[in-house]
Chains A and B, each alone.
Chain A
Amino acid sequence: MKYILFILISPLLIFAHPHTFIDLYPTIVSKEDKIESIKFRWLMDEMSSQMLIMEFDKNLNGKIDKDENKYVKENYFDHLVAYMFYTKIKDKTILTKPINFVASIEKERVVYSFTINLDEKKSDFYIDFYDEDNFVAIMLKKEFVTSDIKYNIEGIDNDFYYTSRLSFEKDK
């Protein structure tokens, strides 16, 4: 059955493969057994950044100004709601609602920074990072995470797309 499913679904992916790589840096803000929020930093790959900077930095001053930030948010970032910002919290049972969005340029690379407020117990809490279209690969490594509570990074078998999971220790 798996193979029949594979044959039927594989056409969807005929042109799909990652072209943009985002280094994901999450900072976990926690208090006792609760995760209050997570601050995210997306660091785009150098090639995609060049393409984006050409459009974002309209006055060519090497940084994203306030009006340019508004443009990036409205024309690029907000549209990612359709993909839940590549951030699926507990199998999409919690809506991904980013706040405090700021776009910037650091060493020729575009950075998106934002926060997601949570107020969730750390036990059994996890977030999967992936793009169903497989056009963007979210790269999450152990050393990218800042957290006072113990966490784990693992690759998840999510059928056809690259998925990383950030999870926290279960209560004993």
Chain B
Amino acid sequence: MSELYHEFITQITNWQYSLNKTISSSIRTVDDGNIFFTYGLVLTIAFLYGVIHAAGPGHGKALVALYFTKEKQSYKEAFKVGYLISIIHAISAIAITFILYFIFKTMFQHNFNQYVNHTMTISATLIILIGVYFIVTSFINRNKSVNDEIKDKKSKYTIAFTIGVVPCPGVMSIVLFCVLLKKITLGILAAIVMSIGMGLTISIVGILSVLFSKKTDSFLKKKNYLLELLSGILITVLGVFLLLGSL
């Protein structure tokens, strides 16, 4: 693999390592100083952690990129989908953490792994269905040009739900850590802020894909369905790999 990608993975991992250390020590000492300052500090770190955490592999960026390459959406739509994913991500992580904590307290880690696995299976199945749906629509729309603006609003929300429903273990860890230290409000706020950070990164990927899609418009002209077909096939393959990995 390219040297550049290796450097990227190493840098992202090292930043996350440092932020993970800083946020946990900041949460522990939150009562020691000025509460507004310490809360502000924890939430700022949570935001940065979210931005960097989502920049590494994962969080459905590949799916978002393929979707916005296929669909002729606006930058605003790409931004909205990024944030929709992060909202569902946050709700899913907060809800599941509290449910697992209060019901299966002493077996949290065991149930945590199982739950993440189940949601990944559901998510992978949905991704396959979306991919197949895109393949079918690419055939139906093969005689239409890009100017026909074929848009499917339902699939946008399906994409957001499919990615967002898998709770981020990183967000869950912060929520649980705060709950255990009896800082529940801070835990919920940190989860929301971290998700906002992740939403920013995912939105940027969506926006870049829209940009790429617009650049290819003139090149593809009436052959636009080929791009849709390729996106559909890649999304289906992606779903199959994920499903196999989660079983």
Contacts and interface: CB of A to CB of B under 8 A. Distances in A.
Give the bracket for the number of chain B residues in contact with chain A: 35 or more
Nearest to B106: A55
B242 A15 contact: yes
A46 B170 CA distance: 13
Contacts of B58: 13-17
Contacts of A135: 169
Contacts of A159: 1
B1 A2 contact: yes
A155 to B, nearest CB: 5
B41 interface: no
Nearest to B174: A47
Interface string A51-80: 110110010000000000000000100000
B166 A15 contact: yes
Contact of B24 (A12, A19, A47, A158): A47
Interface of B: 1-3, 5-6, 9-10, 13, 16-17, 20-21, 24-25, 28, 53, 56-63, 105-110, 112, 120, 166, 169-170, 173-174, 176-177, 180, 234, 237-239, 241-242, 245
28 contacts: A2-B2, A11-B62, A11-B237, A11-B239, A12-B241, A14-B61, A14-B242, A15-B58, A15-B166, A16-B58, A17-B170, A19-B170, A21-B17, A21-B20, A21-B21, A46-B25, A50-B176, A50-B177, A50-B180, A51-B108, A52-B109, A55-B108, A134-B57, A155-B6, A160-B1, A161-B9, A162-B9, A162-B13
